[in-house]
Amino acid sequence: MPDSCESCEVRKTAICCSLDSAGLAALGRLGRKMRLSAGQTLVWEGDESVVVGNVLSGMLKLSTVTGDGREQIVGIVYPSDFIGRPFGKDSHHSVTALTDASLCVFGRGTFDRFAREHEAVGHALLERTLTELDRARHWMLLLGRKSACERVASLILEMAERMGGGRDLVLPLSRQQMADVLGLTIETVSRSLTKLKQSGIISLPGPRLLSIAHPEKLERIAAG
């Protein structure tokens, strides 16, 4: 790869963190860096899953098309997350960049062979899968039990945490995309954001800018 894996920005949190120097060098020889522009799709739903990889920077969405032709966002992918379907043939969702993004990608077949030969990677994949399962269960609870404002607060907190833990965010999601993720209408999302703003918990200095003034209050709302 053009850059050393040892100096990779997600080295300590991606699935390759479990590899020793020799294993990391071997994996590095199999991969390549790829850049995506916002809106560019890496994998289409139903196509063969030919690549897998780590997200180095930026954010992507996982989406599927419903029976009536509407897009449904089923997941958000952040830096250090793993994308693609190892040991599987077809992709169950499309993978599209929400922002400009960079990735470290591998041919699926090549990566599958590497994972079989390196137990640490297989173990890391299992851990990552279980984490994603826990995350999915959390969102099932959120969508099934929480109010609209609680859902919006939960999403803001998740984005803040996964994007570095700061209070000032450049939102990667439009109001409509937030609504799609949360199972709400765009009007309901806008009303919830306005309510949080009027309460002084957040400010909205621009269309895609959000600042958390009182994170502890936002956490209480998200917790219900």
Phi–psi pair at 216, nearest 5 degrees: -65, -35
Could you tell me if 17 and 11 are in contact, meaning their C-beta atoms sit under 8 angstroms apart? yes
Secondary structure letter of residue 47 according to DSSP: S
Res 120: pLDDT: 86
The first and second tokens of residue 52, run together, are: 């897998």
Q: In what order do the strands lie in the sheet with 209-212?
A: 168-170, 209-212, 202-206
- SS3 category, 49: coil
β-strand partners of 170? 209
Q: What is the pLDDT of residues 203-214, one digit of tens each?
A: 999 888 999 999
Q: Return the number of other C-beta atoms located less than 10 Å from residue 168's C-beta.
A: 13
Q: What is the pLDDT of residues 93-150, one digit of tens each?
A: 999 998 899 999 999 999 999 999 988 888 888 888 888 888 888 777 777 788 999 9
Task: Measure the CA–CA gap between 146 and 140, rounded to whole angstroms.
Answer: 10
Q: What is the CA radius of gyration of the chain?
A: 19
Res 34: pLDDT: 95
Res 4: pLDDT: 67
Based on the number of CB atoms within 10 Å of its own CB, is 91 exposed (0-12), middle (13-18) or buried (19 or more)? buried
Q: What is the pLDDT of residues 130-146, one digit of tens each?
A: 888 888 887 777 777 88
Res 133: pLDDT: 84
> Nearest CA to 34 among 98, 134, 91, 102?
102
| Residue in the structure block whose two tokens are 């703003």 | 197
